[in-house]
Amino acid sequence: MDYKNIAVEKREGYAVVTLDRPREMNALTKAMRRELDDCFEMLEKDTSVNAVILTGGDAVFSAGMDLVELSQLPEGELDDYISSIIRCLERIYTFRKPVVAAVSGIALGGGFNIAVICDLIVASETAIFGHPELKFGLNPLFDPLRRIVGVSKAKEITMLGEPIAAKEALRIGLVNKVAPPEKFMEEAEIIVRELSKRPAKALEAVKRISDIVPRLDKSTALEHEFEIAGLLFSRAERKECMEKFLGELKSRKKK
């Protein structure tokens, strides 16, 4: 875990991955994407990690693509550059464990993309989201955003490119929680600590279900969910979890 552009800290049951180019406002370079790809591959295999916080720190989440690197990119390397973006986003987007984005300051363009492919977003009151790409003649990433806020709102956000403050992001369902600047990481940690206590296979199943069932008709969606439920029900872990839950319930009643 000797990275130059990100920092990784493992805690009890979860990990915190921090974009670590603060002087460059965490602008995303090819090297940073390579490290994120490697890091999430490693964390997916790590059985001691059940959830991940992805953050940029207290000041800024990410200003997006590194425009200096992009402006100096030789034309012959464009395909490889785009492939590196796809690989990094896909690695985080298809990560089997819950990922919570903890966003403070700006999350623009490519930084916004990284936030919306996470499962949940906790935003500081200072957070500002936006897709300014169209102003520069580039297309923003549409589909992950559309899945969260709907087609009409996603069109508005990507076509107009206007900044979205934290409270507005909460109102439209873009983020899950807004907290004061000094508490946004604490709120994200409360969530991942709770997630880390959940059975790993059940969490993975919920992630798969949330991705698949919106594409199915109602009957097929129900069948799929109960197929997954049947598989989970047959696991020995299920009995242990139920016994633990009932034991906690009894102890609460005695109080």
pTM, 2 dp: 0.86
- What is residue 207's predicted lDDT score, i.e. its pLDDT? 84
Q: Which region holds residue 195: left if phi is over 0, alpha if psi is between -120 and 50, else beta?
A: alpha
**Domain with 171 in it:** 6-196
Residues 70, 44, single domain; the answer is: yes
- What is residue 248's predicted lDDT score, i.e. its pLDDT? 58
pLDDT in tens, 66-78: 988 888 888 888 8
Residues 116, 227, single domain; the answer is: no
- The reply to whether 243 falls in a domain is yes
Q: Which residues are catalytic?
A: 133
- What is residue 17's predicted lDDT score, i.e. its pLDDT? 98
Residues 125, 110, single domain; the answer is: yes
Residues 192, 204, single domain; the answer is: no
Residues 190, 116, single domain; the answer is: yes
- The reply to whether 189 falls in a domain is yes
When pLDDT is averaged across residues 162-169 and rounded to a whole number, the result is 97
Residues 178, 212, single domain; the answer is: no
- The reply to whether 92 falls in a domain is yes
**Domain termination residue (choose one: 173, 196, 219):** 196
Tokens of 43: 């964390």
Residues 29, 87, single domain; the answer is: yes
Alpha-carbon distances of 115 from 6, 14, 66, 109, 233, rounded to whole Å: 16, 18, 17, 10, 33
Alpha-carbon distances of 149 from 36, 154, 156, 168, 238, rounded to whole Å: 26, 6, 10, 12, 34
pLDDT in tens, 20-65: 999 999 999 999 999 999 999 999 999 999 999 999 999 999 999 9
What letter would DSSP give residue 234?
T
In sequence order, what are the residues at sequence separation of 6 or more whose Cβ sits closer than 8 angstroms to the Cβ of residue 107? 56, 61, 62, 114, 115, 127, 128, 129, 130
What letter would DSSP give residue 54?
E
Starting at the earlier edge strand, list the strands of the sheet with 120-124: 6-11, 13-19, 49-55, 99-103, 120-124, 177-179
Residues 70, 161, single domain; the answer is: yes
**Domain termination residue (choose one: 168, 196, 224):** 196
pLDDT in tens, 82-97: 999 999 999 999 999 9
- The reply to whether 72 falls in a domain is yes
At 182, which CATH number?
3.90.226.10
Read off the amino acid at residue 137. G
Q: d(Cα 167, Cα 128) in Å, to the nearest integer?
A: 10
- The reply to whether 227 falls in a domain is yes
- The residue ranking higher by pLDDT, 199 or 157, is 157
Residues 189, 214, single domain; the answer is: no
pLDDT category, 252, cuts 50, 70, 90? low
Q: d(Cα 15, Cα 49) in Å, to the nearest integer?
A: 6
**Domain termination residue (choose one: 167, 196, 225):** 196
When pLDDT is averaged across residues 160-174 and rounded to a whole number, the result is 97
- The reply to whether 1 falls in a domain is no
How many domains, the chain?
A: 2
